[in-house]
Structure 1
Amino acid sequence: MTSFEDRERAEEAKFAHDADTQFRIQARRNRLLGEWAAERMGLSQAETEAYAKAVVQADFEEAGDEDVIRKLLGDITAAGVETTEAEVRTALEAKQVEARRAFLGEV
């Protein structure tokens, strides 16, 4: 095997590892965001766990964060709690930082 092939495989492995890491951080962020929204809506502990899982699932519908933001805005508003898109986006950013720190702390 040549050194070029070794480097190529190392780059592919790094890319796969980075993609997996990003996926895990994003899933954790979405769970934390779901817990944040559930608290705002006054859900029980069991409802909070189910809702957090639903938020994680919502992220699989399309690429990007817009599907998660739409879900949260719709659900929070439907629960009769006032919120804005800016507030949800701010929470998303804060939970992204929290999830990254938690994940990297575990590694």
Structure 2
Amino acid sequence: MRLLHDRKQALENKFAHEAELDFMADARTNKMLGMWAAKKLAISGDDAEAFASEYVKTGISATPQHCVISKAAKDLKGHVSRSDIKRKFAELAPSAHLETIQVVN
């Protein structure tokens, strides 16, 4: 019985750890997209960091990817198409996830 309890606890801990990694990777992806958008708008330095931080905050919602892409589309209207933003998001996500795993481990 103890073995079952220990295994259940281990699986719960693994699930919690993976959920935390996913959250961190999503936040990193959102920040990377924000920095990309800032560059497109010729925003640099501390202003770019603050701008990108807004993307991280936007991503903390029920449908984070949709909200972040919508924010980028609004910010970049006339500069970049929505499909280019979606493509860039998809391009950034794998590297953000990999970086997060490397930082945590």
TM-score norm. by structure 1 comes to: 0.89
Residue identity in the other structure for 1:92: F
Distance in 2 of aligned mates of 1:58 and 1:33: 12
The sequence identity of aligned pairs, in percent, is: 29
Q: Which runs of 5+ in 1 are unaligned?
A: none
Aligned length: 104
SS at match of 1:65: helix
SS at match of 2:76: helix
In the alignment, structure 1 residue 90 sits paired with structure 2 residue 59: no
What value does the CA root-mean-square deviation take over the aligned residues?
1.3
Higher relative contact order structure (alpha carbons within 8 Å, sequence separation ≥ 6):
2
1:65 positional shift: 0.8
1:62 positional shift: 2.6
- Pairwise mapping of residues 45-56 of structure 1 onto structure 2 (< 5 A)? 45-56=45-56
1:7 positional shift: 0.8
Distance in 2 of aligned mates of 1:16 and 1:97: 20
**Bigger mean CA deviation after superposition, 55-64 or 45-54:** 55-64
- Pairwise mapping of residues 1-107 of structure 1 onto structure 2 (< 5 A)? 2-77=2-77, 80-81=78-79, 83-106=80-103, 107=105
Q: Which runs of 5+ in 2 are unaligned?
A: none
* Runs ≥4 residues deviating over 4 A: none
1:64 positional shift: 3.8
Measured against aligned partners, the alpha-carbon deviations of 1:39-97 in whole angstroms (never above 9, x if no partner) come to 011112121100110000001133241100100000111xx42x211101111011111
**Bigger mean CA deviation after superposition, 33-42 or 62-71:** 62-71
Residue identity in the other structure for 2:90: E
